[in-house]
Structure 1
Amino acid sequence: MRLLFMFTFCLFAITAVGQTSPVSDKVNVVYEKDAKKLPAGIQPKYFLDSVLIGSCLPLFSQEEIKNINVSTDSKIGEVYVMTKNPGAFRFMTLDEIKNKYVKSPSPATLYMIDNDLVKGNIANLKIDENYILNINILSESDFGSLKGAVKDIDIIKITTKSKENLERAGQVYIRGTEFQAGL
């Protein structure tokens, strides 16, 4: 399973210890609600170009990283990320992205970034606007399992300009009588 590089730094630290139920010899089921979460004060502090940005590193191109230094001198740890072009970012929250790019009256929103569901407190997650490749808006009617069961929800699928996504964006798929872009 491919996860965003930056997610390894920030998304709501959860220990790997959770309640699992074996379905078979090869499949374990983990219920997120049962996973042990670290207390809020235990999450590391992140610094971007020497500026404290909080407990979640924003998403931006890996190519912009000059170096990363992890300090374990403090109780909770500190992560220092230096970029090649400090100040060249336009960080936006998911709500800011929705308000700027999505025209929908739906009251509920589910966010996905590079096919990964965004969980937890979305207010802390920011993305560099220049790192967004495209935004695809889906509704409950686009999913057979949700059709009729859930009303008025948007699924906002944000695709970033990761190396893998840029490679797939240039591909064209032919299915029957329709053409479809790589993403």
Structure 2
Amino acid sequence: MRVQRHLTISIPIPPSLPPAVVLAALHTIEPVIRHLGILSRYESIPTRPGVAAGDAFFAPDDPIVTYNIYERITLAPGLTKEISHPSYFQLTASGVRGRADAPAGITAWADFSVRAIRDPGSPEGSASTPSTVAADEEYALQEVLVVEGNSLLMPFVSQTMQDSHRDICSKVVEEIVHKYATGFDYFNSP
């Protein structure tokens, strides 16, 4: 039987880093891919027509970008194997969302977004997008992750996903901080 697990990860964005820069970095998609824990390589590939048809996670009229993800898994000490799977991405107003159709029938949907950290005294639903908030608000990179697979695999998969995706989010923020400090311009990058 297939089951789902829902995880939410939030990593604070340093006040010295404008949230619009984090959003621009997410819109390049690659920082999210680059920090996969067992990544060996990745490549952009043509998107098959209808790949997201019927998947309510994706907006029906917005373009989908596809990457083939290659990961090196350890089978035993000293024995590894490279596996690959497609991952589909779509830009959103607050970041990027993606779906990975991984081996063993595991499907993961992830929504990476820049969110204002709501002041505890603020009313529910008052969070704003990065372009419409006061300069002194705090922000976070938030990932909402849904993992689906065989119920026998889920205890291992959900713990592994929580640990690895917290690491991904932390490394994405660290990379953006470093590149921003060295003058990298995400707004004009290819």
TM-score tier, shorter chain, comes to under 0.3
> Greater share of helix residues, 1 or 2?
2
The answer to which structure, 1 or 2, has the higher relative contact order (CA under 8 A, 6+ apart) is 2
Normalising by structure 1, we get a TM-score of 0.23
- Larger Rg belongs to: 1
User: TM-score under structure 2 normalisation?
Assistant: 0.22
